[in-house]
Amino acid sequence: MAEQGAAHGRQGNQRLGRFGEQQAVRYLESTGYRVLERNWRCKHGEIDIVAAQDGRLVFVEVKTRTSDAFGHPFEAITAAKLRRMHVLARLWCAAHPGITGLVRLDVIGILAPAGRPARIEHLEGVHA
């Protein structure tokens, strides 16, 4: 029974994560970004969104929560996660040599309480 609850929780988290990423894509596109790729994976991890704007390649981590009861979504971004994002951004660039630009790491935090509109916050140029 506990296994079923854990599996249901993972599915709910995955669904929430997909919802948050879709909200982030809509937000980015509405503010002038061009989304180049979503959920790019390699053996070292995953980049949620790769976008371009004004000659920059923007690598975006999206964190979505239904409430801030366990902390703001930005609190889930650790120094280790930022270091991994740097590595992944370099690997993405190496895998796409025809796409160039200055690189920036961003984080989008989304609070999406049930039955209420999602609140989107965007931090640009996050560093470890």
| Residue 98, domain CATH | 3.40.1350.10
Asked if residue 29 is part of any domain, the answer here is yes
Structural domain tally of the chain? 1
pTM of the model: 0.86
Q: Three-state SS string across 63-87, please?
A: EEECCCCCCCHHHHCCHHHHHHHHH
Quote the CA–CA distance of 122 and 109 in Å, as a whole number.
Answer: 6
Tokens for 54, please give them: 């004004």
- What confidence score (pLDDT) does residue 5 get? 43
Q: Is 93 left (phi over 0), alpha (psi -120 to 50) or beta?
A: alpha
Q: Which domain holds residue 101?
A: 2-123
Asked if residue 99 is part of any domain, the answer here is yes
Quote the CA–CA distance of 17 and 40 in Å, as a whole number.
Answer: 15
Asked if residue 39 is part of any domain, the answer here is yes
Q: What string of pLDDT tens digits covers the 128 residues of the chain?
A: 444 444 445 666 788 789 899 999 999 999 999 999 999 999 999 999 999 999 999 999 999 998 888 888 999 899 999 999 999 999 999 999 999 999 999 999 999 888 898 899 999 999 86
Quote the CA–CA distance of 105 and 113 in Å, as a whole number.
Answer: 26
Asked if residue 86 is part of any domain, the answer here is yes
Asked if residue 128 is part of any domain, the answer here is no
